[in-house]
Structure 1
Amino acid sequence: MLRIVSLLLLLGLTTTDEKLRTNSGQITFEASVPAFEEVTATSKSGNCVLHTKTGDITTEVKMTTFKFRLALMEEHFNKNYVESHRYPKAYFKGRINDFNFFKLSPIAKSFTIQGKMELHGETKDVTMQAQIRKVDNGVEIKSSFILNTDDFNIDIPAVIKTKVSKQVNVRSVFTVK
């Protein structure tokens, strides 16, 4: 009888929704235009929660945690473009298609993630590609996608429109445990 109860408990533990998380994910964006100053920034404070049973995934990042090579770019980014004082965070909530936690291995596998991105007070559907693999004590999720500043009502002043791309390349790396 004890063995049956133990087996039922073990089965119950493997089917419950476990959440893996981190608050030190790296998110980098780049909006450079050839022949002009590099426009790139990185945050090492991205939050991510992965539901291992469903493949649901949520991320958020404080806009003021993005660091630029030049302090003036960082100031303009926060004050004029993303207006961090009004919209302090960016959020993503979605699902990893065909996700099966138990089939992950140390060799990265490609997945498609679909969801909604909220940035600068606007919400848009986003689809991205990700490389996901098991690592020591967790799961590594590397993704990349492109955001268009017009989709999020981020105005780029006419004076620098030729120096900053409206197509922003975003890369993220989260190791959730």
Structure 2
Amino acid sequence: MKRLLILFTLLTSIGIFAQSKYLTKTGKVTFEASVPSFEEVKATNKNTTAIINTENGEFAALVLVKGFRFKNALMEEHFNENYAESDDYPKATFKGTIANFSMDELSASNIKSYSGSITFHGKTKTLDNESLNIKKQTDGSLLIKGELKLNVADFDIEIPKIVSNKLSSEVNVSYEFVLNKK
């Protein structure tokens, strides 16, 4: 009987702990490095994994670099081989914490700040006091979306002189994650 009580307590504790995590494997990350009057340089990855711990606001995301899709297949090839070097650096990650996060205080729309670090192309950049929008949806899932700007030089990505006027050195990144209870 004592073992049964211990087993019941352990299983209940695991169930309660699991409810504090929300997860997606179908998050969307888009980046754009276009400049006016030239071909659009934009790609989207719709298979981003993201997780949030609702007890403390810790948030993480993982993007497989080869998962970015461009309109132009040749541009995708150049991105993977010459810029991202995705065979050597197959993933990009973000780890951080949403400030003052509380599930009880979420409403239709909440602008929150976060700090953390993003790793891409083998280099890590610290992000401080960035903004995102997080809301609890009617189905119980969490919607997290936002935008940020990154400089390619921060990740040791060199743009060849021959195409430097066709690519922006500042990249606009947007993300959208619908996370469900794990």
The correspondence for 1:101, drawn from 95, 100, 103, is 103
Look up the match of 1:6: none
For residue 14 of structure 1, report the CA deviation from its aligned partner: 6.7
Work out whether 1:124 is the aligned partner of 2:107.
Answer: no
Tell me, in whole angstroms, the C-alpha distance in 2 between the residues paired with 1:148 and 1:116: 14
Look up the match of 1:31: 33
Tell me, in whole angstroms, the C-alpha distance in 2 between the residues paired with 1:88 and 1:22: 20
Work out whether 1:173 is the aligned partner of 2:164.
Answer: no
For residue 137 of structure 1, report the CA deviation from its aligned partner: 2.7
Tell me, in whole angstroms, the C-alpha distance in 2 between the residues paired with 1:161 and 1:51: 41
Tell me, in whole angstroms, the C-alpha distance in 1 between the residues paired with 2:152 and 2:17: 41
Aligned length in residues: 167
Look up the match of 2:7: none
Contact 1:23 1:47 in 2 (8 A): yes
Tell me, in whole angstroms, the C-alpha distance in 1 between the residues paired with 2:109 and 2:135: 4
Look up the match of 1:137: 140
Tell me, in whole angstroms, the C-alpha distance in 2 between the residues paired with 1:52 and 1:29: 27
Tell me, in whole angstroms, the C-alpha distance in 2 between the residues paired with 1:61 and 1:175: 15
Higher deviation after alignment, 142-151 or 129-138: 129-138
The correspondence for 1:162, drawn from 158, 165, 168, is 165
Tell me, in whole angstroms, the C-alpha distance in 2 between the residues paired with 1:76 and 1:145: 23
The correspondence for 2:149, drawn from 128, 146, 150, is 146
For residue 34 of structure 1, report the CA deviation from its aligned partner: 0.7
Deviating above 2 A after TM superposition, structure 1's stretches of 4 or more consecutive aligned residues are: 12-17
For residue 113 of structure 1, report the CA deviation from its aligned partner: 1.4
Counterparts of 1:75-90 in structure 2, within 5 Å, are 75-90=77-92
The one-letter amino acid paired with 1:44 is K
Structure 1-normalised TM-score?
0.89
Structure 2-normalised TM-score?
0.87
- Cα deviations by residue, 1:2-24 (Å, 9 ceiling, x for unpaired): xxxxxxxx9x9778871110010
Look up the match of 2:50: 48
SS of 2:50's equivalent? strand
Identity percentage of aligned residues: 41
Structure 1: tracts of 5 or more residues without a match: 1-9
The one-letter amino acid paired with 2:30 is T
Contact 1:130 1:144 in 2 (8 A): yes
SS of 1:118's equivalent? strand
Higher deviation after alignment, 63-72 or 16-25: 16-25
Tell me, in whole angstroms, the C-alpha distance in 1 between the residues paired with 2:37 and 2:18: 53
